[in-house]
Homo-oligomer: A and B are copies of this chain.
Amino acid sequence: MANTPITIKDIARALNVSVSTVSRALKNNPDISKETRKLVNDYARQHNYKPNVMAANLRSSRSNIIGVIVPQLVHHFFSCVLSGIERQASAAGYTILVAQSTESYEEEVQIVRRFQEARVCGVIASLAKQTAHYDHYQDLLDAGIPVVFYDRICTGVKTERVVVDDYAGAFTAVEYLIQTGCKRICFFGADPHLEITKNRRNGYLDALRRYNIPIDESLITLCDTRQKAMALTPDLLESPLRPDAFFAINDETAAGVLFACKLAGVKVPQEVSICGFSDGMIAQSTDPKLTTVEQHGDEVGASAFAILQEKLERLSHKESGAGPLIKNRIVRTNLVVRGTTK
């Protein structure tokens, strides 16, 4: 007997009210009187009532499960974002399904399908580097499942977004390099179609323009890994018009530049300044430590969840999911000056 959990029916019978009343009272539906809600919830607590979440989800076609898509799990920034989402979601009683696209469009489409089968109530996603079509996300929206993008956002679908302030982060970093005497500043970026590349590149270009430094396209390169940095930096260091600074799209790449400079006998920061983007464990481990743009991944994740939660609350009050967007959120960055700049 002790092992048989009580059901909504048992509560209804005991309190002599309808099953529907109990169900709505447990959800704190304001249609039910305050007294009845208290009565039902007290009884449920005393008798250790536990909702059959899956049955409840099936009836309402809603769950308290959120699907989270991460391009790569072994990645400091995305780990921070995931941690922020998880922390807020678990505090609010949600659980999260996690899947990594491994930067593949096909995999991302599969994940969205699996999430739909698992009846997630919402999705938080960052695009794979390969993704340039967005029908799978539109399908989610059409099915009434809200989507919030973070970091690598999708401009082709009308939905909420949380981004790092890439433009301002890049502008501030490059401005600092200029103010400390650098004039030939390389930009090592990622795939040009990604919003983060576009925005950081624009921040870089606008900082140069602000200080009347001519733009040299030969200093703008696709280079976003340690290996590429180790391969591309030596030639640049030997060119007649040697760069006096490198602004890299992530810390891994900046660390690669630093190693290449050391191998070439080029002094950092006396001869060449280096600035990264991210501020993870790498930035604290190099010698000298990296100057870098700090991204608040945890805050990005927490914001994405908060926006999704607000969206879900609106939906539960029968507002249209296709209604006006709640908001976009831009999470500030800040420049952390350490040993690789003057």
A contact residues vs B (CB 8 Å cutoff)? 50-51, 53-55, 57-58, 63, 65, 72-76, 79-80, 82-83, 86-87, 90, 93, 95-100, 102, 110-111, 114-115, 117-119, 226, 252, 255, 259, 262, 280-282, 284-287, 298
Query: Nearest-CB distance from A83 to chain B (Å)?
Result: 4
Cα distance A96–B98 in the bound complex, in angstroms: 6
Query: Nearest-CB distance from A73 to chain B (Å)?
Result: 4
Cα distance A51–B116 in the bound complex, in angstroms: 11
Query: Nearest-CB distance from A5 to chain B (Å)?
Result: 11
Question: Quick one: closest B residue to A65, CB to CB?
Answer: B118
Residues A115 and B99 in contact in the complex (CB < 8 Å), given A54-B54, A281-B76, A286-B286: no
- Do residues A118 and B95 form an inter-chain contact, with CB atoms below 8 A? yes
Question: Quick one: closest B residue to A297, CB to CB?
Answer: B74
- Do residues A281 and B282 form an inter-chain contact, with CB atoms below 8 A? yes
Residues A55 and B53 in contact in the complex (CB < 8 Å), given A76-B281, A79-B75, A98-B98: no
Residues A82 and B76 in contact in the complex (CB < 8 Å), given A99-B95, A117-B51: no
Cα distance A284–B255 in the bound complex, in angstroms: 9
Instruction: Give 10 closest A-B pairs by Cβ, nearest first.
Output: A285-B285, A73-B83, A287-B287, A98-B98, A53-B117, A282-B285, A74-B79, A95-B97, A255-B285, A54-B58
Cα distance A18–B96 in the bound complex, in angstroms: 37
Query: Nearest-CB distance from A167 to chain B (Å)?
Result: 26
Interchain residue pairs with CB less than 8 A apart (12): A53-B117, A73-B83, A74-B79, A79-B79, A86-B100, A87-B100, A95-B97, A95-B99, A95-B118, A252-B281, A255-B285, A285-B285
Query: Nearest-CB distance from A3 to chain B (Å)?
Result: 10
Query: Nearest-CB distance from A67 to chain B (Å)?
Result: 8
A79, A97, A110, A226, most chain B CB atoms within 10 A: A79
16 new A-B contacts at CB < 8 Å, known A54-B58, A95-B115, A97-B97: A53-B119, A73-B82, A76-B281, A86-B99, A90-B110, A90-B111, A95-B99, A95-B114, A96-B97, A97-B98, A252-B281, A259-B287, A280-B281, A282-B282, A285-B286, A286-B287
Question: Quick one: closest B residue to A68, CB to CB?
Answer: B98
Cα distance A100–B285 in the bound complex, in angstroms: 25
- Do residues B100 and A284 form an inter-chain contact, with CB atoms below 8 A? no
Residues A73 and B79 in contact in the complex (CB < 8 Å), given A53-B119, A118-B95: yes
Cα distance A280–B282 in the bound complex, in angstroms: 10
- Do residues A80 and B74 form an inter-chain contact, with CB atoms below 8 A? yes
Residues A74 and B65 in contact in the complex (CB < 8 Å), given A58-B55, A90-B114, A287-B286: no
Chain B neighbourhood of A110, CB < 8 A = 90
Query: Nearest-CB distance from A15 to chain B (Å)?
Result: 23
Query: Nearest-CB distance from A231 to chain B (Å)?
Result: 16
- Do residues A53 and B118 form an inter-chain contact, with CB atoms below 8 A? yes
Contact of A65 among B79, B97, B100, B282 (CB under 8 A): B97
